[in-house]
Amino acid sequence: MMIIIIILIIGLDQLTKFIFNNNLVLNSPNPVLKGFFYLTLVHNRGAAFGILKNQLLLFILSSIFAIILIYFNLKKSKQNNKLSLNNLALGLILSGAIGNLIDRLFLGYVIDFLDFCVWPVFNVADSAITVGAVLLAWSLLKEIKTN
How many domains are contained in the chain? 1
Residue that wins the pLDDT comparison between 94 and 53: 94
Owning domain of residue 18: 2-146
Predicted confidence at residue 1, as pLDDT, reads 81
Q: Strand order of the sheet with strand 110-115?
A: 30-33, 37-44, 110-115
* Catalytic residue positions, numbered: 112, 126
- For residue 90, count other CB atoms closer than 10 A to its CB: 23
- For residue 93, count other CB atoms closer than 10 A to its CB: 22
Residues 6+ apart with CB under 8 A from 15: none
The residue-averaged pLDDT of 134-145 equals: 90
Going 121 to 92 to 59 to 19, the CA torsion angle's sign is: negative
- pLDDT exceeds cutoff 80 at 81: no
- pLDDT exceeds cutoff 80 at 79: no
Answer whether 97's CB lies under 8 Å from 70's CB.
Answer: yes
Answer whether 45's CB lies under 8 Å from 52's CB.
Answer: no
